[in-house]
Amino acid sequence: MEAQEEQDGGGGKKISMKSIQFIWKKAQELERDHLLVSFLCTLYIVEELNDYVKNNSTDIEAKNIFLQCLDKAEHTRSSFDAVDYTKLADFCKKLFLAADRHDRQAEITKKTLQMFFTSQIFYEILNHFRKLDDDEKKKYLYAKYKTVYLKKCFDKGIKPEPGSPRNEGGETPPPAPGDEGAPDWEEMHQGEPNQQTTHGDYTENCDRLRDMHKFELG
């Protein structure tokens, strides 16, 4: 599968449909055992795609994902009296520690790469709802760096080092900026879009979902 380029979401903001598809797939996988985390993933997609879909009505794939997520978020929001972002933060930490443990204690494989990439993405979701603290930011940057580092190793046939990769000077290099090098995961299948739906039909629902940010932490 070829890399999918980022799209302009309006106002200079870039939208990576590859990441959106990955998050939507994870949201569905987490729905049974981690409903709040699943909901926040879905809400993240709604808020990320809202302006993009408005400005790019011909992108049927993005519109289809947006409508599915909007419908799911609308049906799920009543399950919560309040949204506690610390639950998402705890989930992010567990993902990171699992990836780091796998990197240091097991054979480094593409599964290790996927685990760090997943950790990176979930920290980005958390940062969307509230600013990362210093420890979370360090974990996010490390996961992001390991994602790029491991992918380059696998692409070039180089055996990756466990833990913090070292440069020639023996120092840990800084986290790589940008999203270059992020792996391509399988695109999830999307159903046939409802081409009769206009942006005006769901703008009001999206605005109501944004009120979730106003909930007091439970």
As a whole-number percent, the residues of the chain with pLDDT over 90 amount to 63
pLDDT at 185: 34
Give pLDDT tens digits for 81-94: 989 999 999 999 99
- Residue 164's pLDDT band, with cuts at 50, 70 and 90, is confident
SS3 15: strand
**Is the CB of residue 99 less than 8 Å from the CB of residue 116?**
yes
Res 120: pLDDT? 97
51, part of any domain: yes
Judgement on whether residues 109 and 57 belong to the same structural domain of the protein? no
Say if pTM beats, i.e. exceeds, 0.85: no
Inside any domain, residue 166: no
Which helix H or strand E contains 7, and what residues bound it?
A: strand 7-8
Number of domains comprising the chain? 2
What H or E segment, with its residue span, contains residue 134?
Answer: helix 134-156
Domain holding 44, by residue range, is: 17-78
Q: Looking up tokens 């990320």, which residue turns up?
A: 48
Q: Examine the domain organization and report whether 66 and 111 are in the same domain.
A: no
pLDDT, tens only, 6-21: 666 555 567 889 999 9
Share of the chain residues as helix, strand and coil, in percent rounded to the nearest 5: 60, 0, 35
Q: Which of 36-50, 105-119, 138-152, 193-207 has the lowest mean pLDDT?
A: 193-207
Question: In this structure, are 52 and 102 located in the same domain?
Answer: no
Task: Tell me the C-alpha distance between 18 and 77, whole Å.
Answer: 25
How many whole angstroms separate alpha carbon 60 and alpha carbon 163? 42
Asked whether residue 135 falls in the same domain as residue 73, the answer is no
133: domain CATH number is: 1.25.40.270
The 3-state DSSP class for residue 14 equals strand
- pLDDT, residue 15, reads 82
What is the separation of C-alpha 127 from the centre of its chain, rounded to a whole number of angstroms?
10
One domain, residues 89 and 153 = yes
Mean pLDDT of the chain: 79
Asked if residue 112 belongs to a domain, the reply is: yes
Q: Do 74 and 130 sit in the same domain of this protein?
A: no
Which backbone phi and psi does 53 adopt, to 5 degrees? -65, -35
**The domain boundary residue, chosen from 158, 187, 207:** 158
Q: What is the pLDDT of residue 174?
A: 47
